[in-house]
Amino acid sequence: MKFKNISGEIYLSYQFLKELGISERTIEKWSAKSGSVIKDGKYCFIKYSAVPKQTKSKLPSESELLAMLASDKKDSLVNDVADKLKYAQINKCAQYRVYYRDTYFLSSEDALKCAMKRAVWERLMEIYKESHSASYNGGLKKGALEMLYSAYNNLYKGQYSSKHAFLRTINTCKSAGFDSIIIDKRKLSSGNNQKYNELHALFVGGVLSIGKAYGAPEILSQIMPMCAKANIGVPSLSWVKTFIKNHSRHNEYSSRYGSDKTGKTMPYATMQPALHADKQWQVDGWNLPFYFKNEFGRLDKLTLIAIKDAYSRKIVGYSISRSENRISIMEAFDDAISNTGCLPFEIVVDNHSFNKTKEAESFINEITKIGVHWTVTENPQYKSIAERGFKKLGENYCKRHYGYIGQGIKTREKNGRSSDELIQQYATKAGKILSENEIILIGVSVVNEFNNTVSNGFNASPNHLYDQSEKPVRFEIDLYERLRILTKRAEHKISRGQINIVIAGKKYEYQVNAETFDKYNGKKVAVRYATPELIYLFDIKTDKSIGSVKQKSKIHGALADQTEHDLQKLAQNKGRTKGITTQSIKQTENIVAKALEINPDALEIMHYHTTPKDTMKEAEINAEVKYQAEKRGVDFSRLTTVPKTTEITNPVYLNKKQTRKDLSPFSPASHQISIIEPDYIDNE
């Protein structure tokens, strides 16, 4: 420190005087006067009045030095307040971020800015109050406003042109609250400054959850009569769009788009592939990207059902047919078991209709007895190896073959589809269209090439990886077990001496002999078959063989590797997903509850206006409609119509429990019935 003020006297440090060129010997002569020197720590100071006049002419005046000291003190106070505001801005903003995001529909970035400003103003108003003698009415201490103004400008430069403008903002904050100075309501206004509440949210959310996936204009048109009935203002189209963007909760999204699409928006657990071969097989189907003409002259595609080993990525078995049905899937399993001589510890499949067939039930039952785990999942992470492998098959292998048409019209990739001219040639020009057998041959070639090629990220081909891997948990399958597993078993009734079986949409008929007719006609028997040409009949109770019948002639992510930590992570992910769903439902229930507080008839209004028109009632009140209908042969005396109810399916918006309770003519379940004593009646 160069100089300081002590009891109104200015003292200069020795170091300050030495910097001005004054020798230490001269300074000591000045200090000979009694009381002119003080010591502060390791520094010595001499009284300004002890300095000779000739030397003083080289120094700032005493008044200038006092002013400099006052300025340094002011800067120190300003920096101290600025540090307090900066601390609040960084460390106290988190508690306000969600409030501004959800209340004013702000983006995450804008909500954070508002939260930080709110934290600063909270601390500033505390300091402002402390700067008064006793309270806001006690008067502001001298210099306090300028100190706060300067400190605030350190954080938000140029926001206020003067300390008077800053004071007006402080007064606004005192009278109207923090949001009045933090939120620019003009930016949030839709043009008419309409205040929208939970009633608007209820009406929009209800229509939003209808499975027809209405757009914003249609939603607005549907809620307009609801708003009129509820005596509230109609929001603008932009407000509806903003609401949809910011408030499409999980349960509304599920009702609107279905659980399959909703699942793709939820958090997912990352799965590590199996550590050994035959621990897990993944099954999926894929349309081969080639056209052929079927017997009806229409363009068609063949489907590849592939079974992939999750460790080596090898396609261990597959089938190629016209559709992904129970026959083609079972043929793929037959091929896989035949090629490997085993079944894996786990088989992962998607939620395909195959799982609901009797053949699948028999197959799953048999392999479960052996110890195989059958996992049905809609989580793409479980079957990522199978699904990603198909894209690689198309891009790296199918693309080189004649007739390749690309990934399909829905692909977003620039190079995902062949040119229209080339596709036109493959699909229409005589002599240029592939035959069904040619495409089967291409499929066989592609699978073989894939299994024998080293892919990026691997040091060996799928075939080599599979052959070299240990196989600690697979189940060896002998010929007898293979026949028992793959021979399809189902129950069918013998009616009028024959059995009818529908396979992949095609009806097959089998006529039994006289002995079987006499004993089993009108009864169910167990049926097994490898191909539709020949079926085997068994007694349904004893499973004893009855005989065989020919077709009538006619036109025709691995469980074995999971640790407790893995299971815990899966449980956490399941809980997180369940928590999002529960939270979403709670938010919607909260809106419904608040809307009902505002208008108890809100749900009835919404249900009435989301119920399809009753044309019967319309004809009763509209003579022109009735006349035109009768003119065209409609007999109203015999006409019956389907009962019309609201198309809203979300149970939260239906509020079924409350509706039943409100409409019930009986006492509530919690009602207590009292027993009145006879004496009490007599006394009365």
Residue 317 is predicted with a pLDDT of: 94
Residue 641 domain-assigned? Answer: no
DSSP β-bridge partners for residue 549? 535
pLDDT averaged over the chain? 78
In a domain, 121, yes or no: yes
Q: Which of 84-98, 210-224, 483-497, 626-640 has the highest mean pLDDT?
A: 84-98
* Tokens matching residue 448: 């073989």
CA dist 339 and 536 (Å) reads 25
| Residue 182, domain member (yes or no) | yes
Q: Which residue has the higher pLDDT, 189 or 409?
A: 409
365 and 456 inside one domain: yes
Domain boundary among 167, 188, 209: 188
Look at residue 264 and tell me if it is in a domain. no
Q: Are residues 131 and 9 in the same domain?
A: no
Write down the residue that tokens 């009902």 correspond to: 596
Boundary residue ending a domain (476, 506, 537) = 476
Cβ contacts of 516 within 8 Å, gap of 6 or more: 494, 537, 546, 547
Residue 156 has φ and ψ, to the nearest 5°, of: -125, 85
**CATH number reported for the structural domain that contains residue 535 in this entry:** 2.30.30.130
Per the structure, the complete domain to which residue 75 belongs is given by: 70-188
Count how many Cα atoms sit within 13 Å of the Cα of residue 313 in the half-sphere of its side chain. Answer: 22
- Count of alpha carbons within 13 Å of 569, Cβ hemisphere only? 11
Q: Domain boundary residue among 188, 208, 230?
A: 188
Confidence of residue 193 (pLDDT cuts 50, 70, 90): very low
* Tally of domains in the chain: 4
Residue 333 amino acid letter: F
Residue 373 in any domain: the answer is: yes
Same domain, yes or no, for 307 and 352?
yes
What are the pLDDT digits (tens) for 8-43? 677 777 777 777 677 777 777 776 665 577 766 667
Judge if 436 and 321 occupy the same domain: yes
Alpha helices (H) in 104-249, listed in sequence order? 108-130, 144-155, 163-176, 179-182, 185-188, 198-208, 216-229, 237-246
pLDDT at residue 7, rounded to an integer = 63
In this structure, the answer to whether residues 472 and 494 fall within a common structural domain is no
The verdict on residue 212 lying in a domain is no
- Decide if 214 contacts 207 (C-beta within 8 A): yes
Outline where DSSP puts E strands in 457-550: 475-476, 488-493, 498-503, 506-511, 524-531, 534-538, 545-550
Q: Looking at the structure, do residues 40 and 78 belong to the same domain, yes or no?
A: no
* 44-59 confidence digits (pLDDT tens): 777 776 777 767 666 7
Pick the range with the lowest mean pLDDT from 315-324, 513-522, 524-533, 642-651: 642-651
Residues 431 and 491 in one domain: no
* Same domain, yes or no: 464 and 317: yes
Residue 502 and residue 468 share a domain: no
pLDDT tens, 238-254? 888 888 777 666 556 66
pLDDT at 219 > cutoff 90: no
At 359, which CATH number? Answer: 3.30.420.10
- Please report whether residue 385 resides in a domain: yes
In a domain, 512, yes or no: yes
For position 663, what pLDDT does the model report? 42
* Per-residue pLDDT at 502 exceeds 60: yes
pLDDT of residue 157 exceeding 60:
yes
Say if residue 538 is in the same domain as residue 435.
no
* pLDDT tens-digit map of 302-353: 999 999 998 999 999 999 998 888 888 988 998 999 899 999 999 998 888 8
Residues 342-390 pLDDT 10s: 999 999 988 888 888 877 888 888 899 889 999 888 766 666 665 666 7
Q: Categorize the per-residue pLDDT at 211 as very low, low, confident or very high, splitting at 50, 70 and 90.
A: confident
> Is 143 in the same domain as 28?
no
pLDDT beyond 80 at 508: yes
Sheet order of strands, 315-321 included:
315-321, 303-309, 280-287, 346-349, 373-376
Q: Is 297 left (phi over 0), alpha (psi -120 to 50) or beta?
A: left
Residues 437 and 528 in one domain: no
